Amino acid sequence: MIKILSLCFIFLFITDENLLFAQDTLKVISFNLAGRKPGTDPDKRLFHIIQNLKTLNPDIIGLQEINEAVTLSGSDNQGKLIADSLSAFFGIPYYLYSITSHLSWDNQFREQIGIISKFPVLQKGSISLTLGAFPRKAIWNQIQTSFGSVNFFNTHLDYLNTSVRVEQIKEIKTFITEKETLFPSGSTILTGDFNTTPGTSPLLLLTDMNPRFLDTFKTANPSATGNTIPSNSPSSRIDFIFYKKDGDLTIQSSELIMNKPYSSSLFCSDHLGVMTTFLKTSTGSSVYGYSDSKNNFALFPSYPNPFNPETTISYRLPLPQNVSVMIYNSIGQEIRRWDFENQSSGNHSVRWDGKDQFNREVSTGIYFVNLVSGGFTKTGKLVLVK
């Protein structure tokens, strides 16, 4: 009886995960929370921010000005409260990655930037940027989305000095190139509060120079201003979602969010947010990225799947090249890896026996296989049932 109940539970879990990974769109948000700015009733603002997010149902969120009290252990972290609330509401785990940049509001709070994702995070990292009025950082997640892996970056630039912002953008571009080289993905997205407007020298480093980034709001709304500050009477646009032009996503739409007062003239933040919805460019790709052409890089569905005690992971290489096959658990931790140097073209396979790199058996659940070779990456899903 226990075995039957266990299998029923796994079936429901698989069904929910299949729904999660069968999406037709990818919704991305960039939003400055305004932290716990004194005199703004931050707890009430956060409540309404969460209510808005429940309605919008985003997949990935780039947050700026996350605050947590220095006297607490992070239990009041605004990013964590958002992620936990979305997890409870939608019934799936939301992952938060956040980094402290400096202290704010008379050193009462740690100020952070963060990324919230409802998809597993495969890799993460951060860099410190050229010092301006405050220390600033850029952060990165490689996220396994319904369209394959995405390199997702988020930042908050200096608000006083244009030359500092120029240097910070240069550092972010180098950071992006490094991560794309080490962890190739089908798409690159950059969100943030850039504290500068379209056409200024920092942003021209993104939009007018190779590799070119698209301003997603302007691309979707050529005649709209899209101003984001101040929220009660927007006159400037400094909040952006940029998308690298050579990626395999298409911009379907982009809109301002949090743009209605929740009471009289009270807004969720002093910024409006931006939400961009992406579509997959290629219709021939899936979670596994399978293609019928014998000349294509491909990761085939593993067999058996669900499995116990082992499964075979098969793939095809169009050319001789180095290959890495990695197994991740549902929270993005790498648990097993195979690396092959100059593997020949054609079909190959590896067998996974349900054990980690220390030869310990892993538990029942959903796992991800990530295949990386040259500039290609493909991801599939595995279900271990015991």
Task: Find all residues with CB under 8 Å of 101, minimum gap 6, and list them.
Answer: 111, 112, 113, 134, 135, 136, 137, 156
pLDDT at 378: 81
Our CA angle for 41, 44, 48, nearest 5°, is 135
Domain spanning 286-384: CATH 3.40.50.720:
no
Sheet holding 60-69, edge to edge: 95-104, 109-117, 60-69, 25-32, 273-280, 249-257
Task: Find all residues with CB under 8 Å of 94, minimum gap 6, and list them.
Answer: 83, 84, 86, 87, 116, 117, 118
pLDDT at 12: 35
User: What is the 3 state secondary structure string of 19-78?
Assistant: HHHCCCEEEEEEEECCCCCCCCCHHHHHHHHHHHHHHHCCCEEEEEEEEEECCCCCCCCH
d(CA 29, CA 185): 20
Q: Is 17 in a helix, a strand, or coil?
A: helix
- What are the backbone angles phi and psi of residue 48, rounded to the nearest 5°? -75, -30
Task: Find all residues with CB under 8 Å of 47, minimum gap 6, and list them.
Answer: none
| Ranges of residues in the chain whose predicted pLDDT is under 70 | 1-23, 282-295, 375
pLDDT at 375: 65
Domain ranges of the chain: 25-280, 286-384
Architecture of domain 25-280: 4-Layer Sandwich (3.60)
Q: Is 3 exposed, middle or buried (0-12, 13-18, 19+ CB in 10 A)?
A: exposed
Helices (H) and strands (E) in the chain, counts: 6, 19
What radius of gyration, in Å, describes the C-alpha atoms of the chain? 22
Q: Could you read off the pLDDT of 15-59 as tens digits, one per residue?
A: 333 333 456 789 999 999 999 999 999 999 999 999 999 999 999
d(CA 329, CA 122): 9
pLDDT at 127: 98
DSSP string, 214-246: EEHHHHH-TT-----BSTTS--B--EEEEEETT
Q: Could you read off the pLDDT of 213-226 as tens digits, one per residue?
A: 999 999 999 999 99
pLDDT at 316: 84
